[in-house]
Structure 1
């Protein structure tokens, strides 16, 4: 499967408010990750450090505070993948969990190879796959973004049947 490029599909006011925000920090090595984790130590939750991430078209992993918007982390650009990532709290951080949870980009679970390649390119140990993989669909009737739960492909807003294939292009 060819690598898909995910454009931002979230609310325009979020994109607008993200303009001018500092972009995410590029992670090219284990040392970059150690520095990022040390700088964000105060954000730890239950011995894990959560972060917002994107993989930009350059193939690198970019990290930002978990409370950051993905579109800000990506400097408003399209991405190869996005989600949430959790690092161990020791001196040599490793990825404990990673997901594609981003309602701004709604990436498919099939974006995993781009994330895997970014982590491996930076020399960062990681799980073999998403710890949690999410499926998103846009309603063809009301155009709302939907997170699919329990394999129920029905719009949460207007009860319209949702397509089985990704439809944000």
Structure 2
């Protein structure tokens, strides 16, 4: 697998092309692709018949140790692996050569990178790991809820959805960038849980009765995150994370926030009551989300 990076010099008008062999793509290029196009998911259509073959494929990738290969194998078997579309297509082809069938699925649109104060991002990265607790299964959510006090559960929580589609939860006043460990997210905001009435609640497609979500459901959920400023179009990623936990939910953001960056003064603000005018300089704001546009050819 190789990568190329073409760029034009605005001064001399010359075009240059950087090229690499098998080493990993530079982080800034990979981030740009994920931000503009979102991640793709590599998943198994059924049980993994030959885990040793899959492990050998993962272990053969540059920079992958045996321990990391085993971790990737567990991810593949349980939830699938995520990355750029090219990376996942390359892994699918290598697995097929070893007789392991896998499928590549599109993700949930763009990913969002942190756009807040740089010092907060540096602080979050220095922590070494995401501050938010990942909950990927019904059992993990049940354990997480059981460890919270009644006072904690009475308030909304900070949440992010990572590139793997997992919900990460932290106390309400936590920084979203800390919850995500400075990484890209599929969405971010605040979420509140409440005890369900036992009837399933919510408007989740295919929602059933009984004790879905272990007796919990989503009461409120919004995309208020001034660190990531996600678009309201990020809801499908949130819904998928909640469906994985069998948590009934309202079917959309109950507290949607419309973020826009002013093309005049460059500041980011919130559009209120559909009034697309910058509160800082009175310039007109665009209709589409533009907080962190990444130009790609």
Please say whether Structure 1 and Structure 2 have the same fold, judged by a TM-score greater than 0.5: yes
Higher helix share: 2
For each residue in 1:83-122, what CA deviation from the matched residue of structure 2 results, as whole angstroms up to 9, or x when unmatched?
Answer: 1000115773221111111111111111111110111112
What secondary structure is seen at the aligned counterpart in 2 of 1:5? coil
Name stretches of at least 5 consecutive residues in structure 2 with no aligned partner.
1-106, 197-213
Task: Indicate which of 262, 273, 281 corresponds to 1:139.
Answer: 262
**Distance in 2 separating the partners of 1:140 and 1:131:** 28
- Kept in 1, the 8 Å contact 2:108–2:186? The answer is no
**Distance in 2 separating the partners of 1:50 and 1:89:** 13
Higher deviation after alignment, 14-23 or 145-154: 14-23
CA gap 1:2/1:50 in 2 versus in 1, 3 angstroms: closer
Matches within 5 A, 1:7-156: 7-21=113-127, 23=130, 24-41=132-149, 43-44=151-152, 48-88=154-194, 92-156=215-279
**Distance in 1 separating the partners of 2:246 and 2:287:** 35
Aligned CA RMSD, in angstroms, stands at 2.1
Structure of larger gyration radius: 2
**Distance in 1 separating the partners of 2:117 and 2:273:** 25
Number of residue pairs aligned between Structure 1 and Structure 2: 167
**Distance in 1 separating the partners of 2:140 and 2:243:** 14
Query: Please, what TM-score do these two structures have when normalized by structure 1?
Result: 0.89
- Kept in 1, the 8 Å contact 2:263–2:285? The answer is yes
**Highest RCO, 1 vs 2 (Cα 8 Å, sep ≥ 6):** 1
